[in-house]
Amino acid sequence: MNPTTELITLGTAAGPAIRGPEGGIASAVVVDGSFYMIDFGLGCVRAAHQAGLRGRDFVAGFVTHLHSDHVVELPGFLLWNWGAPVDGYTHQVGIYGPGRDATHPRGGSLAGTGQLVEHTLEAFSYDLDIRVTDEARPDMKDLVKAVEIDTPAHGSAAAGRPFAVYEDARVRVTAVLVEHPPVRPALAFRFDTAAGSITFSGDTAECDALVRLAEGTDILVHEAVNLDFFACRGFDPVFINHQSESHTSPEGAGRVASKAGAGRLVLSHLAGVATVEEWGQRARSTFSGPVDVARSGDRFALVPALAPAT
């Protein structure tokens, strides 16, 4: 049987503002029935369930960075997909994400992924204890393992090179640091499977490091911002400057896809408002391959090339 890999864009909206019907940013990579989450935006718990994903098949989650719109439903996802009564995980699962921000003046006292998970377990300790004793669920503390990814120092020679993050029998995950100031570390992830590869930009300005990570990828899932939306509505110049320096225009996403030789560009994490036609047209002006403007719940299958007949 041929291996199967599927991308599901569970939510495609940037946040934390709500400016339309799409769910907050979250995706799943499904490999031969097991799945991996990339970010945990608003609405991802229900979206994952509606997509047919169940915690019993959950392997690991990957957090691109610690902005709230990327992690806000991580607690809900862990709680709603745990234990046999909800077809949830009863095996160990990993949550991989950035550690504390060494470049931030108060970074040493601010939470990384490890504390995010630790504090979730502490905050819900009453509920967790009750369900262990009252519903025969396994202890979540024994199941959820937070792993803070060891990243190169910002500005170092190694910072622009991809590095290994995770590997099992189904998937190999690599990452690179991307540019999403002032948030550091901010990560892009690439998933290589027997059926092909999917690369996620995370939140980033147009970035050569991402081009290196995404070289030859079958699908590049790239964020996009419509700066005109904010400029025409009188947003504060400080806010618009952040959007400009920390995010990528659709044309920029197309340039990254073109330089990387990506097979397909999927626009997601859409910041600001534009029509599907406008997002797509702008990306197609710089990328000649297929372009999709993702909606919540869209599915993209990777079909491996057939071996030549003998």
pLDDT at 3: 79
pLDDT tens series, the chain, 310 aa:
677 999 999 999 999 999 999 999 999 999 999 999 999 999 999 999 999 999 999 999 999 999 999 999 999 999 999 999 999 999 999 999 999 999 999 999 999 999 999 999 999 999 999 999 999 999 999 999 999 999 999 889 899 999 999 999 999 999 999 999 999 999 999 999 999 999 999 999 999 999 999 999 999 999 999 999 999 999 999 999 999 999 999 999 999 999 999 999 999 999 999 999 999 999 999 999 999 999 999 999 997 754 444 4
In terms of Cβ atoms closer than 10 Å to its own Cβ (0-12, 13-18, 19+), residue 109 is exposed
Alpha-carbon span 87 to 104, nearest angstrom: 41
CA-CA-CA-CA torsion sign (16, 205, 216, 295)? positive
Q: Where are the domains of the chain?
A: 5-302
Long-range contacts of 162-171 (CB under 8 A, 24+ apart): 162/190, 162/209, 162/212, 162/213, 165/62, 165/96, 165/189, 166/60, 166/62, 166/94, 166/96, 168/59, 170/31, 170/32, 170/34, 170/59, 170/194, 171/29, 171/31, 171/36
pTM for this entry: 0.96
DSSP 107: G
pLDDT at 308: 46
pLDDT at 309: 47
Q: Which of 256, 253, 264, 266 lies closest to 298 in space, CA to CA?
A: 266
| Topology given in CATH for the domain delimited by 5-302 | Metallo-beta-lactamase; Chain A (3.60.15)
Q: The tokens of 152 are what?
A: 């190169």
